[in-house]
Structure 1
Amino acid sequence: MKQNKRKTLPFAGLLLLVISCLILGGMTAYAAFTSKEEKTTLFQVGNLQTKISEVFSEPATIMPDELIEKRVKITNTGTLNQFVRVMLHPEIRLEKEGTTRLLSAKIGDEVLLDINEDKWKLGEDGYYYYLNVVEPGTAKTTDALFTQVKLKRELGLEYHMATFNLLIKIEAVNCAKDNYRKAWWQGSTPNSGALQKVDQQLAQKVE
């Protein structure tokens, strides 16, 4: 298990936080498994701190098309109001005869999540943006990003005995002025697509 690392980094007057949480094991196609959970804080800046709050009943096995409850929310454990975005990296790995093979694992294809599209918006950059302010306090959380996970019904035999990993990367920025634009979009204002809709929502909530 890696130890948490804390660094204070200058960021052009912005406060930005990035946390990556690697949910290892947890699900194995077709077979029993041993799993563990590892959460590693990459860095924290100023009074921005956040963590994943989840409800997860870890199964012994998972079969294709089997729903597994996994409610993922983000908690603001710092002292400042935050905007939050999350990137999800699924990975299906097969260990066989001393070699490792990565199998196709894409959200919406091999990996199916019931994303809460009313509260979270997927941008063209691959991040899911929470469309509201996350207030500080351990009792304050976002709405769930998703509540269920399953692997698609049509997985081939090559997935037999494979393990499923999900990396959840969190980025948070304080709500002052247009800090989220500077931190996430190099100071530009999106003028089309999903990111424009995200920007329109967040712009109404800046401090």
Structure 2
Amino acid sequence: MKKRTLIIIVAAALVFAAATAVTVYAYLQNTVQKSNEFTIGEDKAEVTEAFTEPPEMHMTDTFEKVVSVQNTGTSEEFVRVYLDFSDSYVRDKAKIVYTKNGTQTSKSWSEFINDLPIDWAYVSESDATDGALLGGYFYYTKKLAAGQTTPPLMDGVQTNFAASEGDSNVDNIDDFDIVVYTETVQTTEINADGTEYTDSDWKPAWRSFLDLPQ
């Protein structure tokens, strides 16, 4: 009886081993034959610009400079733009041409940053003292889908080099640059559970990014 019991146990063990081998083989076969691919979303954008340089500079000029941002990545994103003149004297005497509510207008720099086109907002250095947002940037306040382009931030510039009363820089036409670049941030929370931001959450989105350990 002991011998028969031993044979039965061994046989059962062999059957179990064979069944296991079949299962593992089927699993390995299945694994080898199937392939899963995953694509990581990419935040990426570029400034799209239409610029017409005047053939020569005069005391007063108006020239085209249309500034927008296109999402060239693969996922939704929030964007912001740094835009400023290389010469603050030129900037303070110039007017920015832009379109708001379907009407084109021109205003001084200080007026422009407080009355921007729809869905744009400017955060000054003084407004950013709490560290919540980085000052000196123009923020697009809507999520920008992949392939989408923002409405123009500006359409052109009117320069004025004519001297005003008490102006020591008399009738001096100066060379200058208008510096423009853009940055992006993802539309899901970074430090939490990946919750999707809404269109109105541009401030929390940038705050989340700026609060990351450097």
TM-score range, shorter chain: 0.5 to 0.7
Q: Matches of 2:185 and 2:94 in 1, distance apart?
A: 29
Q: Which residue matches 2:94? A: 111
- 1:183 equivalenced with 2:209 (yes/no): yes
Instruction: Provide the C-alpha distance between the structure 2 equivalents of 1:127 and 1:142, rounded to a whole number of angstroms.
Output: 15
Q: 1:55 aligns with which of 33, 50, 55?
A: 50
Per-residue Cα deviation, 1:117-139 (whole angstroms, up to 9, x for no partner)? 322111122211112111112xx
Structure 2 equivalent of residue 4 of structure 1: none
- Does the CA-based 8 Å contact 2:67-2:154 persist in structure 1? yes
Q: Does 1:142 align with 2:125?
A: no
Runs of 4+ in 1 over 4 A off after TM superposition: none
| Residue 158 of structure 1: how far off its partner (Å) | 6.0
- Cα deviation for residue 171 of structure 1 reads 1.4
| 168-177 or 71-80: bigger deviation | 168-177
How has the CA–CA distance of structure 1 residues 121 and 179 changed in structure 2, closer, same or farther, with 3 Å as cutoff?
Answer: closer
Secondary structure, counterpart of 1:104 in structure 2: helix
CA distance in 2, matches of 1:111, 1:48: 34
Distance 1:111 1:91 in 2: 13
Q: Within 5 A, what are the aligned runs for 1:47-126? A: 47-92=42-87, 104-106=89-91, 109-115=92-98, 116-124=116-124, 125-126=135-136
Bigger fraction of residues in strand: 1
What residue identity is the alignment partner of 2:206? Answer: Y
Please give the alpha-carbon distance, in whole angstroms, between the structure 1 residues aligned to 2:141 and 2:205: 15
Q: Which protein has the bigger helix share? A: 2
Give the AA of the match of 1:60. P
Using the size of structure 1 for normalisation, the TM-score is 0.53
For structure 2, list consecutive stretches of 5 or more residues without a partner in the other structure. 1-40, 99-115, 125-134, 164-168, 190-203
Amino acid at match of 2:81: V
Question: Could you list the per-position Cα deviations for residues 38-97 of structure 1 after superposition, in whole angstroms to 9, with x for gaps in the alignment?
Answer: xxxxxxxx71221111112222123343211111110110111111111113114xxxxx
Number of paired residues?
127
